[in-house]
Structures are given as structure tokens and as C-alpha cells.
Structure 1
């Protein structure tokens, strides 16, 4: 508890700095921008001194940082288990740089050039695509690990099924999984990017596989209720080994985050947006793009390609099945669902008759 004397000292030394910081933040019209700037500035000073550096209590001496401090903070964000993209890291650094320019203009004894560092390259398109059959193969290969195989298998399968980020998966606890009272599946809930609550159903089969992790001898030493206990370094080594075994070329730039993108090609873009927990549909559209685009199937060519519907009647059943199987996973999944609905309708008609 702060005494009356200490309170006056805090007021004398800190209030001016805090009020000027809030004035700087308040000059942005967007409430979203204000929140992001305040969070970035708070996080930076708490990183510098977790105990004493709440911005409410900053004084002018606290503003004197070195260029090396900013570089270390950038590296800290790059190495963070949340697996931040370069774009996200840049968005955390930029508010600090803008603040120091503002404070220098307002005659604080600082040099804003001190916090100037090179921003990281735009990596929004860097994570390479991964396809369902490849993701499934990765999961199967992971089982070959004698000690951690079951946990690695479940991590990869959970990653491409739920599309949760690595940090969210590693934070999952057993109590985050609930039986769905309305269907034969389970609901997994996590707090994702932007502190948004996100719930995704998983199959009873996947849940059964997750429970097998508890049966592993090494698991008995854990009592923290966490599902996964793999370190980011272990996951990186796992991905490197899997890519080598599967012959995935480095140029494809496949990363663990690529598993999250597998589901982007399924369903409608609105379904993918909801599943990936995106705020903006333009982000989902970017995820649905693969780096190696097939221009032979472009709209500009198909619109000129007049083919009569009767052509399908000239194919055998085996040829039609072959064409269907060759479709991308999203189209094939929809065809299977339509076929299942048609069969269900047939069965219903037989019962009625």
C-alpha cells in the first residue's frame, strides 16, 4: 500500500509522464488503435522492469532507454512462444518509436533516434501451403517416436483439425474440452489472438487419441492439467525431421503454422473465416491462396470454355469416380457430403414406402 508521502512523490514524478503518454494515445481517433498503442507501450515498459514500470508510475529517467534495449525487445518478441509474425512484432515496436518522437517534440530530454531500428521484413505471405494428405502423413510419421509419439501425433492432428495457433494448443488444458450436449463430438475452447474466445468441435476419435497421452509413462510427472508439454524447440525439430522424411523442399517454406492453414481450403470462405477465427475476411482469402497457383483453371479461361453437360454421360462409373477423387479437398469433401445426404434421403424414402 502506498503511503501519503510516497503518493505525493509518485504524483510529482510520474503523473506528468503518464498524462503525456495518454495524451499521445488519445490523439488517434480509432479506439482500436488507442487500445493497441496503449497495450504495446505498457508491455514494453513492463518488459524493461516487470515490478516497477507500470506507465502510471513512469518518470523522466525511466524514458532513457538505449538502442540496444529496443533491439533486445525485438529479439524477445521474435523468440516468444506465441510465435509472432514479423508484421505483429513491427506493430508492437512502432508505437514505442512514435511515442518517443512525440515526447521529444514536447521537450523531454530524450533523442527519438535512439529507438529507431530496422523493421522486420513483411512475412505475411511467407508461411508455405500444406495439404490435408501431407498433414495426415505428418501425424502418422510422428507416431514413430517411441517416447513422445502419441503426444506429437495428437499435436499435429489437433493443429490441422482445429486450426488453433501453436501458442493456443500449448496452452490447452483438459478442462478446455467439454462434451457437446447437442451432438456426438467434443467442444474445445481457447483464447486466441486478440483475446478472442474461440470454440471448435473435434471428433470423438480425436478426443480418444488425446486421452491416450495420459496413459504414457512420462506423463505421470505432470500435474498442471495441460494437455501438451512439448517445447517450441522440440516442435521445431519435429517439423524439420518430418519435412526431411517427406521430401518437402525448403523452397516451400512449410512451418508448423502451415498446419493451421490446411482447413482454409475447405467449405465456403465464410465457414473458413469462422473456423480460422479471423476478424477480416480478406485475411481468410489470403490463407486460401496457395503459392503455386494453377492458372489453367482460371475464370478468364473457363468462361470461354463451352462444354456441354451431356459429356458426363459418356463416361463410365469408374471414370467419373476417378475425376471426383482428383478434385481438391474442399470440393471432394462437399461432394461426399452431398452423396451422403442423397443416400440418407433414399433410405428415408424406403422406410416411408
Structure 2
């Protein structure tokens, strides 16, 4: 006669095997991995379960509609700053699993997992430009409380394009001197557990070091660089937008700082910088730099302007014209100017 422990173990094994059978029906290994991760995270979160899927029993599968709504809110409030699309992608596998288990005669009701999906917010986060991000950093530096930390956080955010969760997880041990150049390398584990290394300037590194000189900082012993909570960051962003007169319709968020670098370099460079797996995601980030229809190919192809037009401008007018270009173009012009000056210097020597 089987003991109660053996029966529980038998049912536990059956639940796990059926879950893995459900996951295995998808041909894509990527889909299988994502589904398993979403399902594992849900049962680890569920307050009355808190188990790995290997140990689930039939009783553990009982879920209320209220639980699903609470889980959705938990993901919305998560410090990882998930988009609505990401949250939906975490919940959909759970709903599909419950339909599958109900079909296979488990004593559950899959309707309990049905909740309204969040709206597509891929275009919602507003675009922020470099001059605005730099102004934000300068204004935060004037704060009497945590000014240096806020300033360094903003600069690191728009320079590296790291996500908020990655920034708040950064430790001093994650920064190493670049042995091949005069800069520092910062490494973080980003979305999808992808390792991402980004160089930062000596100047920015020195600004980070100044955080250690703040009186309050000595109470921390965790090696972390930043100790601002997600709520504090939300409040400081709300305040700075009012101070700068940024209209609510622009919907600027902390995540907008990640967009700043998208306008620099080629789309392939931006993809690498933003650590995107798919270039179509990068294209969405760059949209705000390509909405000037006056510069469209359909107009430029008919626009015959003689090269001599530039000779009619004086030095001040040419400089003004150059400085009016978008950040990516301006950065490229500066780099090429620097190279020309270096070549001239070498020729004179």
C-alpha cells in the first residue's frame, strides 16, 4: 500500500511531466524557454504555493481570477520596468497552460486565468533628446539631497542605455579599467540574462566615484553604486519634468533616457549599443529621429542644389548650420573634423 508521501510525490511528478509536455509541444526552443520561465516565475510568486514546478501538486494549481490580476499588477510595479507587451507575454503562457491542463481533465477552471491584456505601449514611452538629458543631469546636481547620485545615475543612464533594473543592480566590481584605452568598462546582466559591456569615459567614472564621498553613503556595505529606490526615481522624474516644463503629452519616463543614444551612429551601432536582439526593436527606438518629412528622400531626389551654395556662407553661418544638425550627424562631423586636425598636425610635424 502506497504511503501518503508516495502519493503526493506521484501527483507532483505527474503535474511536472504534464507541464513539460505542454511546453514541449512548441517547436521553437526559444518559445519553450520563454514559456517555462514564465510558468516557473508565476508559481514561485503565487503566495500560497511558492514552489518550483518540479514539486507542484494538483492542489497547487488552484488559482483565482484575483490572483491573476494581482500578478499583473506585480509585474507592472516591478523594478525591471516591464513594458505592457512584456507583461502580456509573461501572462499568456499561464493562461494557455491552464487551458491545456483543463482539457486533460485536471480539476481546474481555466476561465479563472482570463484577464484583459494590457494595451500595446511600444510607442508610448516619450522621446528625449541629448540636450534635454544633459539638462536633467545638471539640474539634479543642484539638489541638496542625493544630488550627486541622481546626477551620476542620469548620466550613466543616457550614456550606456542600461535599463533601470540593470543600473540599480550595478556594483563597483562591475567596473574595470579598459586595458586597451583610456576609459572604463561597465558590465551588467541585461534583459534575457544577456551579458552587456559598455565603455564609459574617465570623467563619468570620476563622477560615479564622488558618490562614495557623500556622508550618507558610508552606511552601505553592499558594493552597489546606486541606492535610489524605484519610487524615488519615479518621484524625481515627475519633479524634473515640471521644472523643465516638459509637457505631459510627451510622456517622458526614466526609460526615455535609454532612447537618447538611438539617434547616434548607424542602426547597427545603435542595435549593439542598446543590446537589442532584433533590429526591428532598434528601428522603433530611432523613430523619433526620422519624423522630419522635409528631409524625405522623395523630396531630396528632386532637390537640385549646387555644391557652391556653401561657399556663400561665412564661417559663423557655417558653424551655426552644422550645430543645427541632429545629434548623430553632428557627432560624425565632429569626429571627422578631429581626424582632419590630427592629420594636419602630423603633416606640420
Which TM-score tier does this pair reach, normalised by the shorter chain?
A: over 0.9
Q: Contact 1:129–1:291 at 8 Å: present in 2 too?
A: no
2:171 maps to 1:159: no
The CA deviation at 1:49 is: 4.5
The CA deviation at 1:310 is: 1.7
The 2-side partners of 1:168 and 1:50 are apart by: 30
The CA deviation at 1:62 is: 1.0
Match of 1:78 in 2: 76
The CA deviation at 1:9 is: 3.7
- How do residues 1-353 of structure 1 correspond to structure 2 at under 5 angstroms? 8-49=6-47, 53-290=51-288, 293-351=291-349
The 2-side partners of 1:150 and 1:343 are apart by: 35
The 2-side partners of 1:30 and 1:12 are apart by: 29
The 2-side partners of 1:319 and 1:189 are apart by: 43
Partner SS state of residue 290, structure 1: helix
The 2-side partners of 1:254 and 1:12 are apart by: 52
Q: Let me know the Cα RMSD of the aligned residues.
A: 1.5
The 1-side partners of 2:60 and 2:271 are apart by: 43
The 2-side partners of 1:34 and 1:195 are apart by: 16
TM-score by length of 2: 0.97
**Structure 1 unmatched ranges of 5 or more:** none
The 1-side partners of 2:4 and 2:267 are apart by: 57
Could you say if the C-alpha distance between residues 263 and 97 of structure 1 is closer, same or farther in structure 2, counting changes exceeding 3 Å? Answer: same
The CA deviation at 1:24 is: 0.5
The 1-side partners of 2:333 and 2:179 are apart by: 28
Partner SS state of residue 341, structure 2: helix
The 1-side partners of 2:49 and 2:60 are apart by: 13
The 1-side partners of 2:195 and 2:4 are apart by: 40
The 2-side partners of 1:103 and 1:184 are apart by: 58
The CA deviation at 1:176 is: 0.3
The CA deviation at 1:312 is: 1.2
The 2-side partners of 1:102 and 1:290 are apart by: 42
TM-score by length of 1: 0.96
The 2-side partners of 1:317 and 1:97 are apart by: 65
Partner SS state of residue 269, structure 2: helix
The CA deviation at 1:5 is: 6.6
Deviations 1:73-114 (A, max 9, x none): 111111111111111100000000000111111111111111
Q: Contact 1:128–1:291 at 8 Å: present in 2 too?
A: no
The CA deviation at 1:122 is: 0.5
Partner SS state of residue 288, structure 2: coil
Deviations 1:97-156 (A, max 9, x none): 000111111111111111000000100110000000000000000011112000000000
